[in-house]
Chain A
Amino acid sequence: MSAEATAAHDEHHDDHHHDLPFYRKYIWSTDHKVIGIQYGITALLFLAFGFYLMMVMRWSIAYPHEPLPGWMSWIFTEEWKARWLQDGKVTGDTYNMFGAMHGTIMVFLGIVPLGFAAFGNYVVPLQIGTVDMAFPRLNMVSYWLYVIGGGIMCASFFMESGAAKSGWTNYSPLAGFADSQIVNQWLAGQTQWLLGMVFLISSSLLGAVNFLTTIINLRAKGMTWMRLPFFVWGMLVTGFLLLLAFPPLEVAAIMQLMDRVADSSFFMPSGLVSKTAGVLEVSGSGSPLLYQHLFWFLGHPEVYVLLLPAICCVAEIIPVNTRKPLWGYKSMVYAVLVLGFLSFIVWAHHMYLTGMGPVVSTFFQTTTVLISVPSVILLTSMIISLWGGSIRFTVPMLWAAAFLPMFGIGGLTGLPLAFNLVDLHLHDTYYVIGHFHYVVAPGVLFGLFAGVYHWYPKITGRFMDTFLGHLHFWPSLVFMNVLFFPMLTQGMAGFHRRWYNGGDAYLVEEGSGNIFGNTVLDWVAWNSVMSWGAWLLALAQIPFVINFFGSIRFGKKIKSDNPWDATTLEWATPTPPPHGNFTFDVAAYRGPYEYSRSDHEGDFYPQWEEPPREKAAPSKTTTTKESAKES
């Protein structure tokens, strides 16, 4: 198709040379690579902000009676502190606000944009060998909708009502009438959350349509389905999850918005009484359970939206650094498709305690246990890929290697939660927090960090520094575990996930007969250990920040366009890839992971390298007929 582009069309011939003004090139850009970088940097900023919110929460958990230290509270104005802190101490309201926003920001503004939108945008069109996304302008719109949504969410911190405080899940009826004291409901944090969500969902939907169309319709010549790198497969499934799972959440958001601004009772049961407003003047008869169904219909596929991009990155990095094909590529492809399908029918395992009834619970218990099969296939394939490889422990490979056991812990700790009976005990405890943070923090984030270190040379033309990389990796690995592992044990002891003072209210005198109080007493000291894990984890990210920005100017320059000796198409482009990406008529001649082939010189055989003449391969000069035959 680049042949088409470079051939007859006169009116387009000057596109490559035409210099766009700065704002078109870097701000209102329609180039998938620039948009990918925009997404990446914005998402990293949101991740940092979400991390900060978490530190304030950890302070409240570990030191509920002590004022927030100056190094943490300096970013607030005095007025804000007077409103939201009590003598400098974090209050329950403030903790709830930070908790709700930590979850929201990390999930919807941090990891999804970083994993799916940033990496997907940058890498997918390159890997399938095309010039850009199918709808470049739509791509730009997606990014800006995301920025607007994020802006609305964060702006709500400075409103009279503060930001949303009803948990990242925003359950009704709690969320339905939280902030109901605010006269103009459009200016209440809880409403702003919903508005922000509508923007974010629209952004994701447009993004998903764009990704899917690109992958389906714009693959290069010879890029058949089974020659797609696993990364692209993962993104394809992620795209479908976003496309089909987000609309029900949009429904939930719209209905809750109606409840708030139009006084409807979609999620308001009859006879609701609130402490501040008395008997609520609503028609009633709404269903909080309906909200949970709509929310988790998104919520569970969302977990895989978070996870798959990380697995995608790791699956690319492992073959490059072991110099071996990805083990079980086809099984992984089928596994990820099955995973995508099953993820739509497991949602109610988040709702065992809602009283749905044993039949429904049993169904969802079964599907939940089933979904661990494809997950294990993915993880196992990647572990077996290591076997017998001559592993290069580059920095991206370190992260990728650490991803495997960390995600393993995350996944395995999820199994007990799948069972209805065990979940009765563990529901809403720190065990759950520990479980999903193992999945998304040392799991997903490690995978994404691996991706950043891996593709950085392609984006900037320079490597990130190895020493700083190690300085980032090892402390992160240690402190992640210091932070999250004790949560699992605390949770089993019964620590509730929403204690803003870390169980302080349940403490008893030593030797008391109160068994629960004694258990809390046994485990409460871990609170400060974990919090210190969090502070040190924050410190461990400083080398990354230095490395990320410093290496743009001071990093070691790459010597070729394919510095890792990789096989997939993104490494066939100039560095950094120009607008329009490829400088030759790119085509895929073989599978994505042809490393250490005995019949080929060198230990890798790139997808774009034309086979020798005698093998009767498609030649460069052929037209699109070839691609039709191939795919």
Chain B
Amino acid sequence: MEIPYTVTARKDTGLFNSKVGIWLFLASEVMLFGGLFSGYIFLRIYADYPWPERTLPVLPGLINTFVLIGSSVTVVFAWAALKMRQWRRFQVFMGITIACAAIFMVLKGIEYTAKWGHQAVRMDDYAIVEGHTHKAELDDHGHFHVIHGKKYPDHAFPANRIVFETNEIQIDLTRFYAPYMKELIEQAEERGSKILLADTIAGKRNPKADEKTVAMAGEELAVGFLKDARELFLDARAHNAGVRTDELRRLWRVAKKNNPGEPAYLLASSVQVDDAALAPRLVPATGTVKFNVQPPMPFVFKRSWIRESEESARLKDDTILRGKLQECPLVMGVDAIDFRYMAQKAEAAGKEPMSVIANSWLLQKPEYKELWKQHLESVEKLEQKLIDSHGWKDEARGIANRVPTDTERYRIGWKDLVEYKTGERPSMVQGFAGPSHKKEEFAKAFPELEIPNEKISLQSKFTPKWNTYYAIYFTLTGLHGLHVIGGAIVLAYYLFFSKGLYLRNPEWLANRVEVGGLFWHFVDLVWIFLFPILYLM
């Protein structure tokens, strides 16, 4: 059996099968990316905070654009070479195409890494700062210290963690998450504390079974016995549920017999399981176990793991810690200050943005006050420059043809900071993938900041969590990147594993390369849309 039209085109449609297939597939791909682009427009138009504009470094994106366009050309050359039956030539051009894909992904990787290392904080007054988190350590008394200097000790942690002095831990048996438990155990070991079971865990699966002891009071926390305890609890709970269900069934049989024809909803309130009467048939089942931390010690957690209050903290798996929240500010080197959100909120509330900003928590610090003053001066200069070059619209009322944008007015970017400090603005190449805190000449322009816990309303790296712009950026470029990788794998297959097919049926291979090339062009086309909307607009 042979499928017709795999190599030659069908006369009436003029197409071979896989060409029909790829065009249909591309139609669905258009709908896929069309959906995402529509989503982008929708989300950007209705965003209720200032949309980050032109925040990405343009250079890597620009290079990537040319790399992809170039590869689209070479893939056509590769196909043409096959049509001319020049295998060597095909190999060269296909090789270049795949190399371009690799360059594209490497640049993408550099960009992504820069994002993942970049801290951002939205404060409770809507001021936003961006930068790099420092590292910190706890001293012997459990106090929080920021480490300055190049070398970090092993126990250092990023200075955006929650530190919670704990003396008691309560664990939910059905929900505990083993990696959390291991983290608790490790931290306790490191600081020489012990997490000890408060009461013996023992019980029966059902009234007839033997009493089973899972762990004695004073035993150290271990995932193994927690699992045993969970098993015992689940068995006991299942037994109890069975007993109660049987009882409720019996009660309903009796109730229906005694009240024939009466609708169930009228009987419902009187048909209830009586716990006291059932007690002898039930077994005790407790779903939580308590541990004491001896001696009490501070635990360090990622912010996303924990919801903390002054006296208790809850991990995501319902593990409850009791004790005291420690002083643990977020400490960072700031490379951008953004008051646009604050200005928007102020305007919405009918207040003067500039005075709200001047009164913000951040600008109470002298260093930042000075920076802001410098910034206002430079905005003024810009204003004058715009008037000089574009003139007045209505000079009497002070309306200029061009005024600084909100971004220029309310945001101090990292290049601004460097300029205010050194008087020289970094070039496009110097900031290839964003601000570098490793370069001495830049780092000294980035001021330090300690943000106390209660001031933080949202903190994140530059990841989808930070705002919808980064979310759509990662979704779109990630999905596009997967297409690049997928396409490159297929093209590489043609390059490295298709010599046999070339010798047997070169036309078939040419068809395959044509179809692969069509897909490659589509991937390129998507990028040509992505680049302006994510990097330039």
Other-chain residue from B21, B237, B244, B247 in contact with A209 (beta carbon distance below 8 A): B21
- B39 contacts A210, CB within 8 Å? no
- B471 contacts A262, CB within 8 Å? yes
- B475 contacts A87, CB within 8 Å? no
Interface centre among A130, A135, A252, A281 (most CB of B within 10 A): A281
Complex: A138 Cα to B475 Cα, angstroms: 27
- Judge whether A627 is part of the interface by a CB distance below 8 angstroms: yes
- Judge whether A136 is part of the interface by a CB distance below 8 angstroms: yes
Question: Within 8 Å CB of B240, what residues of A?
Answer: 82
- Judge whether B397 is part of the interface by a CB distance below 8 angstroms: no
Other-chain residue from A65, A213, A283 in contact with B24 (beta carbon distance below 8 A): A213
- B48 contacts A284, CB within 8 Å? yes
Q: Could you mark each residue 238-252 of chain B with 1 if its beta carbon is under 8 Å from any beta carbon of chain A, else 0? A: 111110110111001
- B252 contacts A67, CB within 8 Å? yes
Other-chain residue from B2, B32, B43, B463 in contact with A263 (beta carbon distance below 8 A): B463
- A265 contacts B1, CB within 8 Å? no
Question: Within 8 Å CB of A131, what residues of B?
Answer: 1-4
Interface centre among B317, B465, B467 (most CB of A within 10 A): B465
Question: Within 8 Å CB of B143, what residues of A?
Answer: none
Q: Could you mark each residue 453-476 of chain B with 1 if its beta carbon is under 8 Å from any beta carbon of chain A, else 0? A: 000001010011111101110110
Interface residues of A in 62-78 (CB under 8 A from B): 63-67, 77-78
- Judge whether A378 is part of the interface by a CB distance below 8 angstroms: no
- Judge whether B393 is part of the interface by a CB distance below 8 angstroms: no
- Judge whether A218 is part of the interface by a CB distance below 8 angstroms: yes
- Judge whether A12 is part of the interface by a CB distance below 8 angstroms: yes
- Residues of A in contact (CB 8 Å), total 82
Question: How far does the Cβ of B176 sit from chain A's closest Cβ, in whole Å?
Answer: 9
- A65 contacts B268, CB within 8 Å? yes
- A67 contacts B245, CB within 8 Å? yes
Q: Could you mark each residue 203-235 of chain A with 1 if its beta carbon is under 8 Å from any beta carbon of chain B, else 0? A: 001001110110011100000000000000000
- A290 contacts B464, CB within 8 Å? no
- Judge whether A524 is part of the interface by a CB distance below 8 angstroms: yes
- Judge whether B220 is part of the interface by a CB distance below 8 angstroms: no
- Judge whether B307 is part of the interface by a CB distance below 8 angstroms: yes
* Majority secondary structure, B binding face: helix
Interface centre among A5, A67, A507 (most CB of B within 10 A): A67
Question: Within 8 Å CB of B46, what residues of A?
Answer: 285, 287
Complex: A276 Cα to B466 Cα, angstroms: 23
Question: How far does the Cβ of A73 sit from chain B's closest Cβ, in whole Å?
Answer: 8
Other-chain residue from A160, A184, A287, A579 in contact with B42 (beta carbon distance below 8 A): A287
- A251 contacts B175, CB within 8 Å? no
Question: Within 8 Å CB of B458, what residues of A?
Answer: 281-283
- Judge whether A482 is part of the interface by a CB distance below 8 angstroms: no
Q: Could you mark each residue 1-17 of chain B with 1 if its beta carbon is under 8 Å from any beta carbon of chain A, else 0? A: 11111000011110111
Complex: A140 Cα to B200 Cα, angstroms: 56
Question: Within 8 Å CB of B234, what residues of A?
Answer: 79, 82
- B471 contacts A87, CB within 8 Å? no
- A504 contacts B3, CB within 8 Å? no
Other-chain residue from A81, A277, A294, A628 in contact with B245 (beta carbon distance below 8 A): A81
Complex: A601 Cα to B398 Cα, angstroms: 96
- A88 contacts B249, CB within 8 Å? yes
- A67 contacts B471, CB within 8 Å? no
Other-chain residue from B27, B39, B264, B468 in contact with A294 (beta carbon distance below 8 A): B39
- B252 contacts A160, CB within 8 Å? no
- A278 contacts B307, CB within 8 Å? yes
- Judge whether A89 is part of the interface by a CB distance below 8 angstroms: yes
- Judge whether B125 is part of the interface by a CB distance below 8 angstroms: no
Complex: A131 Cα to B278 Cα, angstroms: 69
Query: Are A250 and B32 also in contact (CB < 8 A) when A243-B24, A286-B43 are?
Result: yes
- A132 contacts B1, CB within 8 Å? yes
Other-chain residue from A12, A135, A209 in contact with B28 (beta carbon distance below 8 A): A209
Complex: A266 Cα to B465 Cα, angstroms: 10
Question: Within 8 Å CB of B1, what residues of A?
Answer: 5, 12, 15-16, 131-132, 579-580
Other-chain residue from A205, A217, A294 in contact with B15 (beta carbon distance below 8 A): A217
Complex: A559 Cα to B516 Cα, angstroms: 49
- A264 contacts B10, CB within 8 Å? no
- B24 contacts A209, CB within 8 Å? yes
- A88 contacts B265, CB within 8 Å? no
- Judge whether A85 is part of the interface by a CB distance below 8 angstroms: yes
Complex: A63 Cα to B463 Cα, angstroms: 49
Q: Could you mark each residue 258-295 of chain A with 1 if its beta carbon is under 8 Å from any beta carbon of chain B, else 0? A: 10001111100010000001100111111100100110
Other-chain residue from A79, A181, A243, A524 in contact with B27 (beta carbon distance below 8 A): A243
- A213 contacts B467, CB within 8 Å? no
Other-chain residue from A79, A132, A250 in contact with B3 (beta carbon distance below 8 A): A132
- B245 contacts A184, CB within 8 Å? no
Instruction: Name the residue on B nearest A131 (C-beta).
Output: B1
Interface centre among A208, A213, A216, A507 (most CB of B within 10 A): A213
- A212 contacts B20, CB within 8 Å? yes
Question: Within 8 Å CB of B475, what residues of A?
Answer: 254-255, 258, 264, 266
- Judge whether B318 is part of the interface by a CB distance below 8 angstroms: yes
Instruction: Name the residue on B nearest A212 (C-beta).
Output: B24
- Judge whether B273 is part of the interface by a CB distance below 8 angstroms: yes
Instruction: Name the residue on A nearest B466 (C-beta).
Output: A283
- A217 contacts B28, CB within 8 Å? no
Q: Could you mark each residue 595-620 of chain A with 1 if its beta carbon is under 8 Å from any beta carbon of chain B, else 0? A: 00000000000000000000000000
Other-chain residue from A130, A254, A255 in contact with B4 (beta carbon distance below 8 A): A130
- Judge whether A356 is part of the interface by a CB distance below 8 angstroms: no
- Judge whether A41 is part of the interface by a CB distance below 8 angstroms: no
Complex: A287 Cα to B475 Cα, angstroms: 16
- B21 contacts A631, CB within 8 Å? no
Question: Within 8 Å CB of A628, what residues of B?
Answer: 11-12
- Judge whether B399 is part of the interface by a CB distance below 8 angstroms: no
Question: How far does the Cβ of A288 sit from chain B's closest Cβ, in whole Å?
Answer: 11
Complex: A65 Cα to B177 Cα, angstroms: 35
Complex: A270 Cα to B43 Cα, angstroms: 13
- Judge whether A555 is part of the interface by a CB distance below 8 angstroms: no
Q: Could you mark each residue 498-527 of chain A with 1 if its beta carbon is under 8 Å from any beta carbon of chain B, else 0? A: 000000100100000000000000001100
- Judge whether B180 is part of the interface by a CB distance below 8 angstroms: yes
Instruction: Name the residue on A nearest B180 (C-beta).
Output: A183
- A277 contacts B307, CB within 8 Å? yes
Complex: A67 Cα to B234 Cα, angstroms: 20
- B20 contacts A213, CB within 8 Å? yes
Interface centre among B238, B271, B463 (most CB of A within 10 A): B238
- B12 contacts A264, CB within 8 Å? no
Other-chain residue from A248, A286, A524 in contact with B35 (beta carbon distance below 8 A): A248
- A160 contacts B174, CB within 8 Å? yes
- A82 contacts B43, CB within 8 Å? no
- Judge whether B263 is part of the interface by a CB distance below 8 angstroms: yes
- Judge whether A4 is part of the interface by a CB distance below 8 angstroms: yes
Query: Are A85 and B245 also in contact (CB < 8 A) when A160-B175, A285-B48 are?
Result: yes
Interface residues of B in 197-246 (CB under 8 A from A): 234-235, 237-242, 244-245
- Judge whether B316 is part of the interface by a CB distance below 8 angstroms: yes
- Judge whether B508 is part of the interface by a CB distance below 8 angstroms: no
- A251 contacts B271, CB within 8 Å? no
- Judge whether A563 is part of the interface by a CB distance below 8 angstroms: no
Question: How far does the Cβ of A347 sit from chain B's closest Cβ, in whole Å?
Answer: 12
- Judge whether A98 is part of the interface by a CB distance below 8 angstroms: no
Beyond A131-B4, A217-B10, A283-B468, list 19 extra A-B contacts (CB 8 Å). A15-B1, A65-B271, A78-B241, A79-B237, A87-B245, A130-B4, A212-B20, A218-B4, A244-B28, A251-B32, A254-B479, A255-B39, A262-B464, A277-B307, A281-B304, A283-B465, A294-B39, A504-B268, A624-B11
List, sorted by A's number, 30 A–B pairs whose CB atoms are closer than 8 Å. Answer: A15-B2, A65-B252, A78-B241, A82-B237, A82-B242, A85-B241, A88-B244, A134-B21, A136-B3, A181-B175, A181-B316, A209-B25, A213-B20, A213-B21, A218-B3, A245-B31, A246-B31, A247-B29, A248-B34, A251-B36, A255-B39, A262-B464, A285-B43, A285-B47, A285-B467, A286-B468, A287-B46, A293-B42, A524-B263, A525-B263
